[in-house]
Amino acid sequence: MCGIAALFSRRDPVSAATIERATRSLHHRGPDGQRHWISPDRRVALGHARLSIIDLATGDQPIASEDGRTHIIVNGELYGYEAIQRELEASGHHLRTRSDSEIALHLYEDLGPECLHKLRGEFAFVLWDETNRTLFAARDRFGIKPLFYAIHNDTLYFASEVKALFAAGVPARWDAESVYHSIEGGSHQSRTLYDGVFQVPPGHYLIATGKHLQIHQYWDFNYPAADHAPLRSDADYAAEVRHALEEAVRIRLRADVPVGCYLSGGLDSCAVLGLAAKHHADPIRAFSLTFDHPDYDEEKQAKEMAAKANAEFHPIPIRQDDLADNLPGAILQSETFCINAHGVAKYVLSRAVHNAGYKVVLTGEGSDEILAGYPHFRRDMLLYNRNGQDPAQIAALLSNLEKLNPVSRGLLMPDGDARPLENVQRVLGFIPSWIETFSARAAKMQTLLAPDFTAEYGGRESYQPLFSGLDIRKQLTGRDPVHQSLYLWAKTLLPNYILTVLGDRMEMAHSVEGRVPFLDHHLVEVICSQPVSQKIHGTTEKYVLREATRDVITDTVYRRQKHPFVSPPATLNPKQKLSAFVNDTLRGSALTAIPFFNQKNVVGLLDRVGTMDEGARVAYDQVLMLLVSACTLQTGLKLEA
């Protein structure tokens, strides 16, 4: 993994100083070397900050084609590259490196945009095609790797992080409309919190010439119609998933540096570790976070799993003081609003991994998004897949689901009344539980917003921007409600939050590459094709994964219900440092400088939180964390309204 930056000017020459500033701001993503290339006409510049993992000797970038007319910068890992290298050499290409990144360059020369269908892995890259005077940029199918862009003064800018765009000269300003939609939960595939800054959506590529810019989709989930295929046996489905997942894990163990694993007490990371141990000659180092609150700590389950896999168990304790001390740094790395300090915990975890001498870890991210692991998907199953069941039984199951998931209150399960969602109901015919959850949180925030901010944006339908960018008829109509909910989550929360706050940004903050076997597109396509009953079987989530990996996980993990990765809320520890940090921030000048919030009402909420019951404090903690993250971004990125 690395950091990339690029400039394409339609008018004035680009400067070496500009691309150097952008690349230098990404040093944490690539501390092993920084290089750039500027085209002879000085209209194009490519910058690369390298984290060397494959081909330590000759893998520097930018990489040029044999004739020097095509150049590429890549952030990511491309798996199965050795076979493609042999194919390219057999067809007459002469490779300059032995790195995985170079295959994208030559595949583009041969196939153009169709090259993307040959690439497997997590990636974002920018390529300059001198022959056709075309800039080609692409992002992996799930948004594992970030790729932002902006147009300013007739120059097109690209970077792995927004801060690099700002370093290159793009104005640092809030986008008020995007801020409002983000607060409402109505995320967008392309827009960001920042004015004029966009992202290439997952599964898309961008083509820019001197006069035109176009974005095209090359991959989608393509869930089958609800009555699409005849059912097969549970054993067949499990075997199919096992084969695909084991291959996804095996190929992600390929590196020229040591590979470790993140390990919690959950099914996902335990399954990855169990399969990785089968294909790794030596014991794998397993890094686990531990918390000082029993409802959030999974050390016991993780340690048991490490023993089963013969892994080296490496616990990293996280306390409230640690979260407070590291919260600003983690938020600035995320560049987005956060609703829990779990991202801060991952930030601390990745630093511990770096200090232990590791550059690569396998992670369990993505499993819940493709296998309906979160409790709100089970709620959807109960509400919208009743199949003639007794209403009283459904009501009892829903009540039990809420009781078994107290840490998910307001985070993954609805808490309180939601904001109006008529547009969602009209478009989908139902309201996914995660949208209802986010809308209920947005309702809690209404009195905390500035009156003029609400007056300008409050009447807008918050999910309209999302729906306007999707092919509803092709991807959602006729699909099972749970699959529709999964699809919408994967287009929004997966790339914009899970893979950001709990993935790439926290890992790369400390030069650690996270590899996500569950988001191997071959595996995802297998799971998408399977019926909902393999994802949620009765009240058991991720059923097919449990059966597919039962032999490599502990019985505890096999039988355990999903426990979301959440850190203890600041509101539960009012006398500790994190709570003090939240209070000091929201009562101070940082919040005053942001034009979107009513500080008087925010202070009133802070004064009331201590009188609430524990469940309400858990739910309101997310509101406070969102406000704190906004303050941190305002100050750290020096944003203008």
Which amino acids are annotated catalytic? 2
CA distance 416 to 439: 9
Q: Alpha helices, DSSP H only, in 59-191?
A: 81-90, 102-111, 162-168, 176-184
Q: Which residues contact 347 (CB under 8 A, 6 or more apart)?
A: 326, 329, 330, 333, 506, 509, 510
Residue of 131, 136, 133 lying closest to 104 (CA atoms): 136
**Could you give the maximum distance between any two Cα atoms of the chain, in Å?**
73
Pairing assessment for the beta strands 536-537 and 2-9 based on DSSP bridges: unpaired
Residue of 197, 212, 65 lying closest to 134 (CA atoms): 212
Please give the C-alpha separations between residue 568 and each of 57, 167, 294, 437, 576, in angstroms, as whole numbers.
44, 35, 9, 19, 12
Structure-block tokens of residue 360: 């690569």
CA distance 542 to 536: 6
Chain-centroid distance, C-alpha 216? 21
The secondary structure of 53-93 as a DSSP string is: -S-TTT--SSEE-TTSSEEEEEEEEETTHHHHHHHHHHTT-
CA distance 626 to 501: 13
Q: Name the strands in the sheet holding 360-362, side by side, starting at the edge strand that comes first in the sequence.
A: 312-318, 285-291, 259-262, 360-362, 513-515
